Amino acid sequence: MDVKKSKATVALMMMFMMLFLVNFPGCFSAASQQPNNKKSTHLKPHNGFHSSFLFPVTGNVYPLGYYSISLSIGNPPKVFEFDIDTGSDLTWVQCDAPCTGCTKPIDHLYKPQKHILVSCEHPSCGVVHFPESPHCEKPDDQCDFEIDYVDHGSVLGVVVADVFSLRFMNGSLIHLPLTFGCAYDLKNPGPYDPQAAGVLGLSNGKASILSQLRSFDLTRNVLGHCLSGKGGGFLFLGDDLVPSGMSWMPVSANSKHYLSSPAEVFFDGKPTGIKDLKVVFDSGSSYTYFGYQVYEGVLTLVRKGLTKKPLDTVQDKALPICWKGTKPFKSVHDVKNYFSTLTLKFKDTQNIQLELQPEAYLIVTEDGNACFGILNGTEAGLGDLNVIGDISLIGKMVVYDNEKQRIGWISADCNRLPNSLDSNYKEDIQQPYAANFGILEENHPKTQGSGESNVRVRNREL
């Protein structure tokens, strides 16, 4: 065993725990205290797990492009907005190191301190770079990361560990150190300037915030979201809000993304000839993406179904394929009767299917046109990968059960928070907030020697 490495790792862990205990004495005991009997939020812990976490969500598919939640980091706590992304692993926030390409004012950036840096030899750094290993000139080098998105955006930064303040649904507040990315070099050539401070990685990778909470034995490795077509919704971590009677589909155990079983595609209840379609469920993607052949096949059927309908094609800056009516549409409800339902029936399951009614693949733009919210994934850089994005998840409670490697969904009212939530949380959740960072995390973080961009990471020391 490398003695130097072992000592450095233990010392770093002890430093975090001392910082944690000195600044937040009794925080774990607070989490286990009996809540006030007047509150209606107490939920019985599951097998020693304290409870679940519930967060109001803001945002929409159009015109903003994503959904976000607020999280508090640091001591004293500072609030940041995060894009919720089940297609990414590492959580990251824009930080003043200083920052290149950050979209937030300097006083709204996360300010890292040297003592919270994760070293290159620390196990957390290995988790971030998995399945590769971080390459370090010296064991105590800072742990750097790089993430590339398929919309050609990228994020460079350093891995840190700082205190998050989180409130259980039973009302108890905890403060604990979690590992995340301090991003100081952002590139995003997309049409929108991102307004959120960062991305909350919720894939089933071990670097995700949920996996870290599970390692503390604080909650189950289960998450769910309910996104409203009116904007807003809610996100939960833990299994207290999982509905009974939900149908489940297994997801691939060999992918950190939520990859489905093969599916056959039906349109208007009839087979399309498209079979063995695998999809990734990705809340970080505003729209749904199919590979070229599937996309062209589905689009042809949609166009054929519009024959003799009072719709004409029109150019709209929002999306590539759009139609106009005899007068501008006010909402999808004005146009949905002209379109048919698209259904994915998954194999190796008990009749599990995902119905995409017109509301799940159409938007109405500010010009009153109806646009097709299923896009050409090959053209977008996804190759043959198929992605189910936010537009197709609206109006459904979608649950990702990493304990049993499965995913389920059920129709739900996402316009209001669950009734069990304390009044302290009952704020307006229908106000949209931000724009889109990217479609899907493309690769694992790069290591030293991966190219010029990684050299730039090494040149920025905190």
Q: Which of 144, 162, 282, 401 is flagged as catalytic?
A: 282
Instruction: Quote the DSSP letter at residue 336.
Output: G
CA distances from residue 246 to 51, 259, 352 in whole angstroms, order as listed: 20, 19, 10
Q: Which residue has the tokens 């689009």?
A: 299
Active-site annotation holder among 85, 141, 144, 239: 85
Are residues 251 and 230 located together in one domain of the fold? no
Based on the fold, state whether residues 60 and 180 are members of the same structural domain: yes
449: left (phi over 0), alpha (psi -120 to 50) or beta: left
Q: Residue 394, SS3? A: strand
Domain for residue 163, yes or no? yes
Q: Write down which residue in 376, 393, 411 finishes a domain.
A: 411
Strands 233-237 and 222-227 come out as antiparallel
For 255, which DSSP code?
-
> 375's torsion region: left (phi>0), alpha (psi -120 to 50) or beta?
beta
Statement to judge: residues 174 and 287 lie in one domain = no
Evaluate whether residue 47 is within a structural domain. Answer: no
Q: Residue 437 falls within a domain, yes or no? A: no
Q: Nearest-5° angle of CA 280, CA 358, CA 190?
A: 55
Q: Is 276 a catalytic residue?
A: no
Compute the half-sphere exposure of residue 158: CA atoms within 13 Å on the CB side of its CA: 30
**Tens place of pLDDT per residue across the chain (462 aa):** 332 233 333 333 444 444 443 343 334 333 333 333 333 333 333 444 458 999 999 999 999 998 999 999 999 999 999 999 999 999 999 999 999 999 899 999 999 988 899 999 999 999 999 888 888 888 889 999 999 887 778 999 999 999 999 999 988 999 999 999 999 999 874 444 467 999 999 999 999 999 999 999 999 999 999 999 999 999 999 999 999 888 899 999 888 899 999 999 999 999 999 999 999 999 999 999 999 999 999 999 999 999 999 999 999 999 999 999 999 999 999 999 999 999 999 998 878 999 999 999 999 999 999 999 999 999 999 988 999 999 999 999 999 999 999 999 999 999 988 865 434 333 333 332 222 323 334 333 333 333 322 222 333 455
- As a whole number of angstroms, the distance between CA 369 and CA 366 comes to 8
Catalytic residue check, 89: no
Q: What is the model's pLDDT at position 50? A: 55
Same domain? For 169 and 307 the reply is no
CA angle in degrees (0–180, nearest 5) for 459-461-462: 155
Decide the pairing of beta strands 406-411 and 248-250: antiparallel
Residue 460's pLDDT is 46
- The residue from 208, 237, 266 where one domain ends is 237
Residue 151 belongs to a domain: yes
Q: Do residues 272 and 167 share a domain?
A: no
pLDDT of residue 351: 84
User: Are residues 223 and 326 both part of a single domain?
Assistant: no
> DSSP of 166-202, one letter per residue?
EEBTTS-EEEEEEEEEEEEEEE--SSS---SSEEEE-
What is the three-class DSSP state of 327? coil
pLDDT score, position 48: 40
CA–CA dist 197, 234 (Å, integer): 19
Q: Which domain holds residue 131?
A: 53-237
Is residue 42 in a domain?
A: no
Are the CB atoms for 417 and 52 separated by under 8 Å? no
Residue 327 and residue 259 share a domain:
yes
Q: Do residues 164 and 309 both lie within one domain?
A: no
Coarse DSSP helix, strand, coil percentages of the chain, rounded to the nearest 5 percent = 20, 30, 50
The pTM for the full model equals 0.81
Q: Give the torsion sign (CA, 357, 62, 228, 104).
A: positive
CATH of the domain at 296: 2.40.70.10
- Give the pair of three-digit tokens for residue 456: 């730039």
- Shared domain for 97 and 220, answered yes or no, is yes
Q: Give yes or no: residues 196 and 269 share one domain.
A: no
CA distances 254 to 290, 361, 405, Å, are: 21, 29, 10
Domain contains 90? yes
Residues 197-225 as b/e (b if ≥16 CB within 10 A, e otherwise) read bbbbbbbbbbbbbbbbbbeeebbbbbbbb
Query: Per the domain annotation, does 4 fall within a domain?
Result: no
Q: With contact defined as beta carbons under 8 Å apart, do 341 and 268 qualify?
A: yes
Domain boundary among 213, 237, 261: 237
Number of domains in the chain: 2
162 and 288 inside one domain: no
390 vs 60: CA distance, rounded Å: 9
**Residue 32 belongs to a domain:** no
- At residue 409, the pLDDT reads 96
Cα(70)–Cα(241) distance, integer angstroms: 20
User: Is there a single domain that holds both residue 329 and residue 232?
Assistant: no
